[in-house]
Structure 1
Amino acid sequence: MKKTLTFCLLLLTASFVKAQSIKNYIAEHAEYAQGLMREHKIPASIILAVAIHESAAGNSRIAQYLNNHFGVKGPNNNTEIHSAYRDYENADESYDHFVEIMETREPFNNLFAKHDQYDYKGWALGIQRSGYAQSRTWASQVIAIAKKYELYKYDERPEGYKKPVYASRTYRKRGRVYTVKAGDNLSVIARKKGTTVKAIMKKSGLKSIRLKPGQRLRY
């Protein structure tokens, strides 16, 4: 019982420390993000949310050693770590470069005509679709950060602003496929793929265990 309470206390403490770290990060960088927003018309909330996500609120190795808060790859002169990410003189320079990427590189620069400086959700979705990150959940994670920490408060939204509505996108998990070869049987295939004959038959819609070369099975 004592061990369980201690473990729960550690989890709560870690969660509090993480939340406090993010709040401190926001307090440190919000004013600069707002300045970029006013000059370049990209939401301060999206600048902050992407930076928090990509740098673990300034705690990642590339943020600590390279002042890289946006996961931008490139050459660096740092001798303390070996990294494929570029370095900056300070965090502000990293923020400037992120906005520069949005303004000068296709297809990111097309987002300025599609979304205003108050639409952080549209920007997050647009940045993901433009190839900023490979993860399909990147935008939803960035949006969640903006919502949780109410970063939209820094966007200086006009009174009565109506947020655009975006349909949520769902992704169907694609099953793995195996092409039957001569001499195969379901038991051998199941053993190779770490599954069961029953599972293969169910996913592939099989009514018989008989197979033929070239047949495609899901597992």
Structure 2
Amino acid sequence: MKNIFTLCLLLLSGIIARAQTTEDYITQHVEFAQGLMRDHKIPASIILAVAIHESAAGNSRIAQYLNNHFGVKGPNNNAEIHSSYRDYESAEESYSHFVEIMETREPFNNLFAKYDQYDYKGWARGIQRSGYARSRSWASQVVALVKKYELYQYDERPEGYVEPVYATTTYHRKRRTSARLYAVKPGDNLSVIAKKKGTTVKAIMKKNGMKSNRLKPGQKIKY
């Protein structure tokens, strides 16, 4: 009975230990993120926000079992979890590898010339556009985390720094339109067809590249 009670306590303590708050996660990793920022000129706010987003503030399975805080894929030697994500010796190694990816892989390495270490919005947009994530809302989610937890305060911005203004990008799905065709019947002419289909003779001729209004039965025309 005592052994069962002890086991329950251990399991409970393990669950509690893993239920880390975002605030605690930031406190735990902010100093290391700032060190990376100073050495590599990428905002600490972005490093932290991406880590929070990709690891659920350290509570995801890959963060717990693989020390993977940035969703980087690759081989791992962990026997406790079957995953396509790579493993790290520590969270710090995961953080350092993320910055290494930004510095050494194209097109991410081009971002350093475009954005400074204070422009977290530019970095978020740039990382997304460079193919880091498939989700079109990824950058806006990362920026929202920076704002929610005021992570920009760790970027050591100079006094009077003015944030660049970026236009909000709206994505529209292209409408798929099937070609509308009409098979010409005996006795048809362009005026009759235009009236049937609610268009004009001029519009039909333009769509079909017609120079003459002559039609043949069975001919298919766009309208």
Identify whether the pair has TM-score above 0.5, normalized to the shorter chain.
yes
Q: Structure 2: how far apart are the matches of 1:135 and 1:76?
A: 25
Match of 2:111 in 1: 111
Identity, % of aligned positions:
77
Q: Gaps (5+ residues) in structure 1?
A: 1-18, 181-205, 208-212
Mapped pair 1:70 → 2:57: no
Q: Structure 1: how far apart are the matches of 2:81 and 2:178?
A: 42
Q: Structure 2: how far apart are the matches of 1:96 and 1:179?
A: 53
Residues 124-154 of structure 1: CA deviation (Å, up to 9, x unaligned): 0000000000110000000000011000000
Q: Gaps (5+ residues) in structure 2?
A: 1-18, 181-196, 199-219
Match of 2:82 in 1: 82
User: What amino acid maps onto 1:73 in structure 2?
Assistant: K
User: What amino acid maps onto 1:32 in structure 2?
Assistant: F
Secondary structure of 1:29's match? helix
Bigger radius of gyration: 2
Give the CA deviation at 1:20.
7.3
TM-score (norm 2): 0.71
Q: Structure 1: how far apart are the matches of 2:30 and 2:118?
A: 15
TM-score (norm 1): 0.72
The correspondence of residues 28-47 of structure 1 with structure 2, limited to 5 A, is 28-47=28-47
Residues 50-101 of structure 1: CA deviation (Å, up to 9, x unaligned): 0000000001110000000000000000001110000000100000000000
Give the CA deviation at 1:173.
3.2
Q: Structure 2: how far apart are the matches of 1:54 and 1:177?
A: 38
Q: Aligned pairs, how many? A: 169
User: What amino acid maps onto 2:32 in structure 1?
Assistant: Y
Q: Structure 2: how far apart are the matches of 1:135 and 1:178?
A: 28
Q: Structure 1: how far apart are the matches of 2:55 and 2:141?
A: 13
Give the CA deviation at 1:174.
3.7
Structure 1's 179 and 88: CA in aligned 2 closer, same or farther, altered over 3 A?
farther
